[in-house]
Structure 1
Amino acid sequence: MIKSILLSSLLLVSGSLISQSLDIFDKVNSIYDEQNPVLSPDGRTLYFTRANHPENVGGEADPGDIWYSLIQPDGLWSSPQNATALNNSNWNGVLGFVGGSDVIYLYNHYSQSGGTTKSFGISRSIKTTGGWSIPENYTIPYFTTSSKIHGGYITSDASTAVFSLESYGTKGGEDIYVCFNKGNGNWSEPKNIGSTINTKFQEFSPSLSDDTKTLYFATNGTGTGTDFYKTERLDESWINWSDPLPLILLNSDGREMGLRLYSPMYLYTSTTDSDGYGDIKAFIDPNLDDKIEKPKDSVEVVDPVVIKEKKPVFDSRYITLYGNTFNSENKNAVETKITLKSMDGESIASVNSHMGSYALKIEAIGNYRVRVDAPGYVSHQETLELQSDEIKSFEMNFYLQPIHVGATVNLKDVLFKQSRAEFLESSFAELNLVVDFMKDNPKVEIRLEGHTDNRGVEKYNIKLSKERVEAVKDYLVKKGISKKRISGKGYGGSKPIADNENPETRILNRRVEFTIVKN
C-alpha cells in the first residue's frame, strides 16, 4: 500500500531531489520548524512535529505538536491539521505504528488534563470512531533527558525502541540509546549503544531496519555539519557496530535530521532551500529495496496488543478489531480485558482496554467469539463472523452490566429448538459464561425468567417458558452451581420488550433472562 501511494505521489523527480515544479509537500512545509516525519502504515497519512506554531497546544512557546496531512488524489499532501488529541505543551512526536494504522506510539508522557508532565517515557494511543484515545503512559526506568532536541523510533512489532537522549552515561551532547520491550508494558532501561556511534558531539533521530541490524542516524560529530549515517550491528550486545558510513546522496550543506525509510523513498527533513528551519523532503532511490531489510517472516508483538499468530502483522489478511467498552447503565468507559477465541473455545489473542478503548489485530476471514471481562461487571460475549479480506478495520462496542441487586441480563444467545426446551448447539458458549459468572461471584443469587412472543395459546406459552427456565437451571447445576442460588419463573408472552406484530422484532421477545436477587 505505501509503495503504490508513494510512487503515485512522487512521479516527477529531477536528479536526486523532488522536482521543484512538483513539490508534494508544498502545503505541508511552512515558516515554522517541521521535523520527525512519519507515514502511517497504509501510506495515506503523514505525521510530523511542528514547533512554535500559534495553533500548537502551548501556543508559540510550544516546542512541538504533532500535525498530520492526508494524501490527495493528485498525489500531493493536504494542508496539515493539528492532531490535538496527541498533543500537550511538551514536545510531542510519533515513534511509530504497531500492528497497523490504528495503534500509534508517541514520545513523552501525557497527563489526563492534557497539560505538561514532568515524567519521561513513551505513550500509546488507539484510533477509535471518535478519534485518537487519550495516550496511555508507559514508564521506562531511568528514562530522562536534559536535551531540548528529541527523537526516537519503535519497531513495527514493538520489541525495540531507540532514542536520542542527553541522559545518564552520555558521552557528549545527545547520544543514541536502545530499550527493549519486556512485555506487559514493561521496558528495559536505556542502554547507551557505544562510542563507535556516539561522539562528544550530538547524535540525533535514530531509526532501524526491520531486522534491527542496520541503524540510521544523524550526527554533527564528523566535522561536516549535521548529516545522515548508517551502521551495521555486529552482535547482540548493541554496543559493537561497523564504522558509520555517510549517506552522500542525502547529505547537503544544510542540517539533515529525522530519516525514515519507506521503499522506494527516504523521508527526512533538511534546512536546505528552507527558511532556516527544517522542511520535509523526499528522495527517490529505485534500488532502495535492495538496500534495506525485508520484514521478518514472523512477528510476535510483546505489547499489550498481543498477537499470537506468528505471521506478518501487515499481511492483507489481517484487520484491526477496535472499539470501546462502556458501563451499560451510565455509559461511562470501563477498563476491560478483551479475549478473542475460536469457535471451539481456544484463546487466540487478548488485549486490555485503556480508558475504554481497545484495538486488536486479527485475521480478516474467520469466525470468532469475543469475550469482555471486567471486575464488578457481568462478563459479555459476542460472535464475530468475518467473510472478506477487503476491509481494514472493524468496530465492536460493548456495554457491560454492573453487578448489583436488581440488574437484569438478557441471555440473547441462549436459543432453543422451535416449541421445545432443547438448546441449540450455539447456546452453550453463553451458558458457560453464566457458569463462570456464578463461580466468580459465589455470593450472587439469580432468578431466571423465561419469555415467549404472544403467538399461540397463552397457557402453552407459559408452560414452554417454564420448561426453558428449568433447562437453563439444570445446565447450571450440572456445571457445579448450587440449585439454592437459582430460582425461576416462566412468564409466557406477558412481558414483551419489542413489537410482536413485526416479525423482525418479535424474535426479541423469545428470550431467557436472569436478574440478580442477592449479591
Structure 2
Amino acid sequence: MVNTLFFRFALVVTLFIFTQEASSQTIKWANTVIEYSSEFVLPLRAKTATTTLKFSPITSEFESLAMKFDTAFSIKQVMVSELMPQGSIAQVWAIDALSKEHLLFEISEDASLIPGKDKLFNVILPKVTEYKVQAIRLVLRKSALKTSKQIEAIGISNSSQVVNQYVKVASDAPKKVIRENLGKTINSKNPEFAPVISSDGKTLYYTRNYISLFGKEKDQDIWYSTKNSDGTWSKAQNLGIPLNTDDNNAVFAVSSDGREVLLMNKYQKDGKLAPGISRSKRTPNGWSFPEEVKIDNFYNYSPNAEFAVSADGRVMVMSVQRMTTKGKRDLYVSFKKNNEEWTEPRHMGNTLNSSEHDVTPFIAADGKTLYFSTRGFSGFGDNDIFKSTRLDETWLNWSEPQNLGEGINTPNWDGFFTIPASGEYAYMCTYEGSSQKEDIFRLLLPEDKQPEPVWVLMGEILSTSDQKAVECEVEWYTNKNYKKKNSTHFNPSLGLFKIILPLHQQYEIVPVKKGYLTITDYVDLTNENEFKEIKKNFYLLPLEVGNKGILNSLTFSQGKADLPEAALRDLDRIAQAMKEIPTLEILFEGHTDNLGDFQLNLQLSEDRVKNAKKYLISQGIQADRIQTKGWGQTRPIASNATEERRKLNRRVEFTIIKK
C-alpha cells in the first residue's frame, strides 16, 4: 500500500520554487543543506499544514540554516520562503567562494511577525556583490521560535526585480474540475486505492485493503468494475483466484487490448508471493496463472513499489529504491527485450526525481506524458499529482515536473492518476471527504485539458480466401522507426485486437502467421488531430495455389519503377516463405494508371514487376520460381479521375501458382 512507511526529513534537498521572470534575470535555489542547528520531524499524515521538505527548527533559543547553490555568482537579491509565520529571519549571511561570510541583512527582535505565507521574504541589496555567493546562512529570531515555523526555500538572484513565489502549475491544468466519488459500487468502508483504468475506459481495476479484525491483518485484493451503458459503474467484484491470494495483490497495468494484466509480486506455485512482478493473460476460461516478468538486476530496498507500462507495452516506469536513488523512492525506466524479459532499470534523472518519495507513475496513451505523485516539489498539501513530458527517445530527459493544480490536487494525499485513451476522465486516489481513508474518484477533464489525442485501432485479421478470422500476431511500425517493432496477439475467441496509435505518424500494420503471406496495410494519421476509435480489418493470404493478393507496399510514383523501401520489407517476407517452402512459385503482375502513352505504360508495368523479381533473386530465390507479367493500363481496379484513385491502379499483384 502507498503509505506504510514513516518519512523523515532529507538533509540534502532539491527545492523547486519557481518564478516568473525576465530571461535576463538569473535565479538559483539552494539544493544542499550544509549546516543546520536542529530539525523537527512529524509522523506521516500528521494533521498539519507543514510539509516534509522544509526546515523546521525544534528549539526556542538559537536556530540557523545554511544552504549551498549549484552555481556561485554575484547577487543583488536573496529570497526566503517562510511558512507560519513570516518575519522570523534575524540575519542573512552570504558565504563566498572562499567560505568568508558577509552580513546582508539584520533585523531587531521587536519587529512584527506577519501571519500567513503569501509571498517571499526578499532582501534587495544596494548593489551587486563584488564576490560570488556559493551559500546563504539564515539566523532566526528568538521571538519567532516560540511558534511553529518553517523555512521552505532559499534563493538568490542577480537582479533587483522582485521574485514572487508560486507553485509551478501546468499551463493546461484545469481551474475547475468536476470531482466525483465513485460511491458504494466501487468504494467501501475499507481503503480503496491503486486504480487502473482500461484503455477503452470500460473496466476499472483497483485494490481494496481490508481493515484488520481483532488484531489479525487482512490482505489486499484486486477488485474490478465495468461501466454500464448509462455511464455508471457496476457493483465491484473480487477478481478471484489465481490473481488474488492470501497475501497482498494489485494490478498496476492493463494491456491496450485488455487481455493482459501486470501484477505486483511474483506468484509462486505454493501460493506465496516474492518481490517482483508477474503477468496474467485473459483466456476463454478466465485469467491464467501469473508468470514471472523478468527484469535484469531487479532489486528494491523499499517494501513498497509501483509500476506503469506504456500503451505499446515496450516501456516500464517504476517507483523503487535502489543504489542510485537520490531521494527516498525514485522513478526508473526499463525497456522490453522480448516477451518475458526487460532491461536493467535506469534512473530517470534529477529533473524528474526529487528528494522525497516519487511514486505512482502513469504513462499516458500518447507515450510522452508521465504523471506521478510526490511532495518533493511545491504543491497544495501532501502528495500532489505532477506531469512531465518526455523530451527524447532515451526516456531519461524530461521537462520540469508541473503541478496539475488545485482543480485536481487536494490538501490531502493524492496519487494513482490514471486516464483512458480517450482522455475524457481521469481516475485517482485521495483522502478527500470525511472518510479519512483512501477512496477512488473520477474527474471530468475539460476537452482542452486532456492529454494528447490518440487513435484506438481495433479489428480482425481475416483470410483472403474465406474471410474467416485467423489467430496470429499483429505487428506495427511507424514511418519514423521501422526497426522498433510493436506487436499484439489476435485471438478471435477473445474478440477484436486493439492497439493505440499516437497521432501525426503513418503506421504499417503487419499480420504475421506461418503458412500465410502478409498483406501489409497502412494507417495514415499524419494529419489527424482528434481522438478516434476506428474499426478496420486486415488480411492474410493462405499459401495455397490460386490465391491472389495485392502488395499494398508496392505503390509507385507516376512514371517510376523504383521499389519503395516499404516494398522491400514485404518482398523479404515473400522470400522467407519461399525459402520455407522450396516448391513455392509465384506470379507478379504489374499495372499502371491511364496517364501517358499506352506502350510506355505497358513497359513501365513490366519494369516494376521485373524489379520485384530481381530483388527476390538477390535474396537467394531461383529465377525460375518467379514469373512476371505487365498489363499496363488495361486492368484498372479504380477510376482514373483523381490522383488518389490512380494510385490504386499503380499496383503489383501476386498469385500463388505452385506449391
What is the TM-score of this pair, normalised by structure 1? 0.53
Q: Report what 2:442 is aligned to.
A: 282
Q: Which residue of 1 aligns with 2:282?
A: 127
Percent identical among aligned pairs is 30
Residue 492 of structure 2, aligned match among 321, 328, 331: 321
Query: How far is 1:363 from its partner?
Result: 7.2
Where does residue 191 of structure 2 map in the other structure? 33
Q: How does 1:326-365 map to 2 (within 5 A)?
A: 341=513, 344-345=516-517, 364=537
> Per the alignment, do residues 115 and 73 of structure 1 end up closer, same or farther by CA in structure 2, a change over 3 Å counting?
same
Task: State the distance in 2 between where 1:184 and 1:128 align.
Answer: 17
Q: 1:108 aligns with which of 250, 253, 265?
A: 265
Deviation at 1:193, TM superposition (A): 0.8
Question: Are the aligned partners of 1:219 and 1:228 in contact in 2 as well (CA < 8 Å)?
Answer: yes
- CA–CA separation in structure 1 for the residues paired with 2:365 and 2:235: 31
Note if 1:202 corresponds to 2:357: yes
1:264 aligns to 2:424 (yes or no)? yes
* Structure 1 segments unaligned to the other structure (5+ residues): 1-13, 300-304, 313-317, 324-338, 349-361, 371-428, 436-519
In the alignment, the residues of structure 2 paired with residue 293 and residue 73 of structure 1 have an alpha-carbon distance, to the nearest angstrom, of 26
Provide the residue aligned with 1:187 in structure 2: 342
1:18 matched to 2:182? no
CA spacing shift, 1:73–1:294, aligned 2, 3 Å: closer
How far does the alpha carbon of each residue in 1:207-238 deviate from its partner, in whole angstroms, 9 at most, with x for none? 12334322211102135310011112233443
CA contact (8 A) 1:211 1:296 kept: no
**Contact 2:300–2:321 (8 Å) recurs in 1:** yes
User: Which 5+ residue runs of structure 2 have no aligned equivalent?
Assistant: 1-174, 459-471, 480-488, 495-510, 521-534, 544-576, 584-659
Aligned partner of 1:387 in structure 2 is none
Runs of 4+ in 1 over 6 A off after TM superposition: 296-299, 367-370
Query: SS state of the match for residue 474, structure 2?
Result: coil
Task: Summarize deviations over 1:123-167 as a string: whole Å, max 9, x none.
Answer: 221112221111111110222223343322111211101111122
* Equivalent residues of 1:256, 1:268 under 8 A apart: yes
- CA separation of 1:287/1:74 partners in 2, compared to 1, >3 Å: closer, same or farther? closer
1:81 aligns with one of 237, 242, 265: 237
The number of aligned residues is: 314
Residues 196 and 254 of structure 2 are in contact (CA less than 8 Å); yes or no, is this contact kept in structure 1?
Answer: no
Q: Tell me the equivalent position of 2:396.
A: 239
2-structure distance, mates of 1:281, 1:173: 27
Contact 2:385–2:415 (CA under 8 A) maintained in structure 1 = yes
Match for 2:191: what amino acid? D
* Cα deviation code 1:357-390 (max 9, x no counterpart): xxxxx975656779xxxxxxxxxxxxxxxxxxxx
User: What does residue 142 of structure 2 align with?
Assistant: none
Matched ranges for 1:422-441 at <5 A:
none
The letter for the 2-side match of 1:308 is E
The equivalent position to 1:252 in structure 2, one of 410, 414, 422, is: 410
1:33 CA displacement: 1.8
Q: Quickly say closer, same or farther: Cα 1:308–1:252, change in 2 above 3 A.
A: same
- 8 A Cα contact 2:366 2:451, kept in partner: no
Partner of 2:225 in structure 1? 69
User: Would you say the 8 A contact 2:474–2:490 is kept in 1?
Assistant: no
Which residue is 1:451 aligned to?
Answer: none
Give the residue type in structure 1 aligned to 2:417. Answer: L
- The CA distance in 2 between the partners of 1:67 and 1:285, in whole Å, is 25
- Alpha-carbon deviation of 1:298? 9.8
Q: CA deviation at 1:35?
A: 1.3
Q: What letter matches 2:438 in structure 1?
A: G
Deviation at 1:340, TM superposition (A): 5.7
Matches within 5 A, 1:149-164: 149-164=304-319
SS class of match (1:307): strand
The answer to whether the Cα contact below 8 Å between 1:125 and 1:136 also exists between their aligned partners in 2 is yes
Matches of 2:227 and 2:339, distance apart in 1: 35
The answer for the alignment partner of 1:388 in structure 2 is none
Contact 1:210–1:296 at 8 Å: present in 2 too?
no
Code of the residue aligned with 2:349 in structure 1: it is G
- Distance (Å, rounded) in 1 between the aligned partners of 2:425 and 2:394: 30
Name 1:418's counterpart in structure 2. Answer: none
Task: Give the direction of change, closer, same or farther, for the CA distance of 1:195–1:60 in structure 2 (3 Å limit).
Answer: same
Structure 2 match to 1:141: 296
Asked if the contact 2:473–2:513 (Cα under 8 Å) also holds between the matched residues in 1, the reply is no
Equivalents in 1 of 2:542, 2:283: separation in Å?
A: 21
C-alpha change, 1:347 and 1:138, in structure 2 (3 Å) is farther
Instruction: Output one character per residue of 1:424-445: Cα deviation in whole Å (capped at 9) or x when no partner.
Output: xxxxx9xx99x9xxxxxxxxxx
Question: Which of 244, 247, 251 pairs up with 1:94?
Answer: 251
**Which one of the candidate residues 326, 329, 338 is aligned to 1:171?**
326
Would the alpha carbon gap of residues 294 and 17 (structure 1) be closer, same or farther in structure 2, given more than 3 Å must change?
Answer: closer
In the alignment, the residues of structure 2 paired with residue 319 and residue 346 of structure 1 have an alpha-carbon distance, to the nearest angstrom, of: 15
Distance 2:377 2:474 in 1: 42
Q: CA deviation at 1:278?
A: 1.3
Contact map agreement 2:228 2:234 (CA 8 A) in 1: yes
> Paired residue for 2:376?
221
Work out the CA distance in 1 between the residues paired with 2:212 and 2:478. 44
Q: Partner amino acid for 1:100? A: D
State the distance in 1 between where 2:429 and 2:221 align. 16
Give the superposition deviation at 1:322. 5.0
> Aligned residue for 1:293?
452
Q: How does 1:351-430 map to 2 (within 5 A)?
A: 364=537, 366=539
Aligned to 1:109, what secondary structure does the other structure show? strand
Shift of 1:260: 1.0
Residue 458 (structure 1) aligns with: none
Q: How far is the alpha carbon of 1:184 from its aligned partner?
A: 3.9
CA distance in 2, matches of 1:36, 1:193: 22
Give the counterpart letter for 1:163 in structure 2: M
Query: What SS does the corresponding residue of 2:267 show, helix, strand or coil?
Result: coil
Contact 1:343 1:369 in 2 (8 A): yes
* Residue 345 (structure 1) shift: 5.0
**Counterpart of 2:243 in structure 1: which amino acid?**
L
Amino acid in structure 1 at the alignment position of 2:413: R
1:308 counterpart residue number? 475
Residue 92 (structure 1) shift? 2.5
Residues 165-200 of structure 1: per-residue CA shift (max 9 Å, x gap): 122311221111111111242211111111222222
- The CA deviation at 1:306 is 4.8
Aligned to 1:464: none
CA distance in 2 between counterparts of 1:369 and 1:133 reads 31
Partners of 1:365 and 1:217 lie apart in 2 by 37
> 2:145 maps to what in 1?
none
2:205: which partner in 1? Answer: 47
Q: Which amino acid aligns with 2:197?
A: L
SS in 2 for 1:282: strand
In 2, the alpha carbon distance for the partners of 1:88 and 1:347 equals: 44
Aligned to 1:393: none
1:164 and 1:176 in contact (8 A); partners too: yes
SS of equivalent to 2:205: strand
CA–CA distance in structure 2, aligned partners of residues 61 and 24 of structure 1: 24
2: distance between equivalents of 1:50 and 1:167?
28
Q: Match of 1:87, as an amino acid?
A: N
Question: Is residue 518–residue 539 contact of structure 2 (8 Å, CA) maintained in 1?
Answer: no
Amino acid at match of 2:342: W
